[in-house]
Amino acid sequence: MVTVRFAPSPTGNLHIGGARTALFNYLFAKNQKGKLLLRIEDTDKERSKKVYEDNIFASLKWLGLEWDELYRQSERMETYKEYAKKLETSGHTYRCYCTKEELDQKRKLYEKLKKPYKYDGTCRKLSPEEAQDKEKKGSPFVVRFKMPSSGQTVINDLVRGKISFENSELDDIIISRTDGIPTYNFCVVVDDALMQVTHILRGEDHISNTPRQIQLYAALGFKLPEFAHIPLILASDKSRLSKRAGAAAVTEYQEEGYLPEALINFLSLLGCSYSASEEIFPLSEIINRFSLKNVNKSAAIFDFTKLDYLNGYYIRQKSETEIAGLVKPFLLKAGITPGEQTLLKVVKLEKERLKKLADIVDSKYFFTEVTEYDPAGMEKHFKDPLKIELFKKFREEIAGIDFKTAELETFTRSFAEKNGKKLGELVHPVRLALTGKLISPGLFEVMEVLGKDTCLKRFDKILQVI
RNA sequence: GUCCCCAUAGACUAAGGGUUAGGUCACCACCCUUUCAAGGUGGUCGUAGGGGUUCGAAUCCCCUUGGGGACGCCA
């Protein structure tokens, strides 16, 4: 059975790039009728935080990416120690007494000499006497893995083909820290092997770790899994996606009013395609069509415009009741408590205009007084005394009719005609009076939703402020 | 700097030796229209550059250039 895993470290909220990796793992697992493991890689005690772990869970669930089994590396220390011991007895590791400071100095020196840094193997070359001496003194040490110094290590990557590395380029990685806690490269190997992970789908940024891990597999006598390195997601300036380049954490997308289905569809399109002519698919169809063969090699740029388009599309697909429920928290957050009936009516008018759920707040004039008017609009429609007179006349006459969309439109059209004006010459100032804005949904619908009382009050109010 | 990866329009991608280089977003125009959306129709824009291989190259090979990643007692 196919087993894949998503292995985030809880050192930050779930990043959009991480979400994409999780998604591809999920898609592959579902497509192959396999299972998806979620493994929290929290061996860095300093930086791992419970809140981040919770955020990762919440974000994955929000996206609808369910996992089958959950593991925490912090709960598996005994296992790692056991395998570290095995490596030690088989002579694949050695103790390194170099301090962080010494290593830092070496790094700086190499940099100065413009030579590529690689651990020089000082402690690998220690004589038994020297080692014993260090041991007697109780010097702190890390455990390093003896990389082969010749030959090549080849990755058979499912999306990229063969990638080869000279073993001489690989340095003796640390597999266990001074405090005895094992490091990433060692834990992943042990875990992936023991958890019988068959396919490792992860970001391209892990390619350079892979040959080291392959050597570890070999030394431990583990069967090698398949590797598939998926392209990274870049910001619009081709830099790595970060807070500066736009929202980075899934939570932030949620807070801005993106729909999980839109985000999923969008993410699924970065680095992959499912059809030569279509791009919008429900998750079930994406699962159906997913194949590593269709995964691209090149990095993809995250395009908010397209995400917004997809989000608008998915919003439009929903029922008005659903949208009302989704949009309500955004209004509440803005300090607006909408009435159910009004909200539903507003949603009906706004649903085609929303890109993000949070955009609903732009239409707060349905719920609160208008306090600001578009200055350009005021200049254009409420400067000319003739226009103001016409507006006043309109206000008086419309007060006598029923505030239903059809009646309002009929009345306004004939009023315009009678006064020798184009419809727009009435619509625009009226809109400004009612919404404070130059843009809104269809004016007569807006008027009906607001109701006669409110409309008349707003007409009077704008006449006072001009 | 060293190693590794990548390269089709502004963006995401299709075409895996023979297509007028296809689709989607964005953009432009027109239609609809009270504005904005949505929708409809049409359009502009692309194989990074240079060498090969081949009857034929976006597609295979090499070089250059550009971009990205890795170089931690982080993952």
**What is the value of ipTM here, to two decimals?**
0.96
Mean pLDDT in residue range A318-335: 98
CA-nearest of A255, A451, A265 to A334 is A255
Q: How far is the CA of A238 from the C1' of B46 (A)?
A: 19
- A140 nearest nucleotide via C1' and CA: B73
pLDDT at residue A237, as a whole number: 87
Instruction: Dump pLDDT digits (tens) for A192-217.
Output: 999 999 999 999 999 999 999 999 99
- What distance in Å separates the CA atoms of residue A445 and residue A350, rounded to the nearest whole number? 11
- A41 nearest nucleotide via C1' and CA: B75
Mean pLDDT in residue range A34-40: 98
- What distance in Å separates the CA atoms of residue A198 and residue A213, rounded to the nearest whole number? 15
With 0-12 / 13-18 / 19 or more C-beta atoms within 10 angstroms meaning exposed / middle / buried, residue A288 is: middle
Options A61, A243, A297, A383, the catalytic residue? A243
Q: How far is the CA of A424 from the C1' of B42 (A)?
A: 28
CA separation, residue A183 to residues A15, A77, A84, A201, A205 (Å): 22, 11, 11, 20, 17
pLDDT at residue A165, as a whole number: 96
- A412 nearest nucleotide via C1' and CA: B34
- What distance in Å separates the CA atoms of residue A296 and residue A229, rounded to the nearest whole number? 10
**pLDDT band, very low/low/confident/very high, at A243 (cuts 50, 70, 90):** low
pLDDT higher than threshold 70 for residue A245: no
- A116 nearest nucleotide via C1' and CA: B2
Local structure of A92: helix, strand or coil: coil
Q: How far is the CA of A438 from the C1' of B33 (A)?
A: 15
CA-nearest of A324, A325, A320, A314 to A259 is A314
pLDDT higher than threshold 80 for residue A247: no
Q: How far is the CA of A36 from the C1' of B64 (A)?
A: 44
Taking C1' of B6 and every protein CA, the nearest residue is A298
Mean pLDDT in residue range A209-232: 97
Mean pLDDT in residue range A246-256: 88
Angle between helices A304-317 and A260-269 (to 10 degrees): 140
Local structure of A436: helix, strand or coil: coil
pLDDT higher than threshold 90 for residue A246: no
Given CA atoms A158, A162, A167, A171 in this order, what sign does their dihedral have?
negative
Q: How far is the CA of A157 from the C1' of B46 (A)?
A: 29
Q: How many CA atoms lie within 13 A of A5 on its CB side?
A: 25
Taking C1' of B67 and every protein CA, the nearest residue is A238
Phi first, then psi: give them for residue A72, nearest 5 degrees: -125, 130
CA separation, residue A90 to residues A188, A190, A203, A458 (Å): 20, 16, 32, 85
- What distance in Å separates the CA atoms of residue A248 and residue A244, rounded to the nearest whole number? 8
pLDDT at residue A391, as a whole number: 96
pLDDT at residue A244, as a whole number: 57
**pLDDT band, very low/low/confident/very high, at A248 (cuts 50, 70, 90):** confident
**pLDDT band, very low/low/confident/very high, at A292 (cuts 50, 70, 90):** very high
Phi first, then psi: give them for residue A212, nearest 5 degrees: -65, -45
Taking C1' of B39 and every protein CA, the nearest residue is A352
pLDDT at residue A241, as a whole number: 76
Residues found in chain A: 466
Instruction: Dump pLDDT digits (tens) for A59-117.
Output: 999 999 999 999 999 999 999 999 999 999 999 999 999 999 999 999 988 888 888 88
Mean pLDDT of the residues in chain A: 95
**DSSP 8-state secondary structure symbol assigned to residue A237:** T
Mean pLDDT in residue range A377-394: 95
pLDDT higher than threshold 60 for residue A458: yes
Mean pLDDT in residue range A168-195: 96
- A164 nearest nucleotide via C1' and CA: B4
Using a 7 Å cut-off to protein CB atoms, list the covered nucleotides of chain B: 1-8, 10-16, 22-26, 34-39, 67-75
Q: How far is the CA of A378 from the C1' of B32 (A)?
A: 28
- A352 nearest nucleotide via C1' and CA: B38
Contacts of A333 (CB under 8 A, 6+ apart): none
Q: What's the start-to-end Cα distance of chain A, in Å? A: 74
Taking C1' of B70 and every protein CA, the nearest residue is A208
Q: How far is the CA of A206 from the C1' of B69 (A)?
A: 8
**pLDDT band, very low/low/confident/very high, at A239 (cuts 50, 70, 90):** confident
Instruction: Establish whether A393 is a catalytic residue.
Output: no
- Structure-token pair, residue A88: 């030690």
CA-nearest of A368, A394, A370 to A378 is A370
Contact A144, A173 (CB under 8 A): yes
pTM of the model: 0.95
- Domains of chain A in start order, with CATH, are 3-71+183-234 (3.40.50.620), 79-176 (3.90.800.10), 250-363 (1.10.1160.10), 375-465 (1.10.10.350)
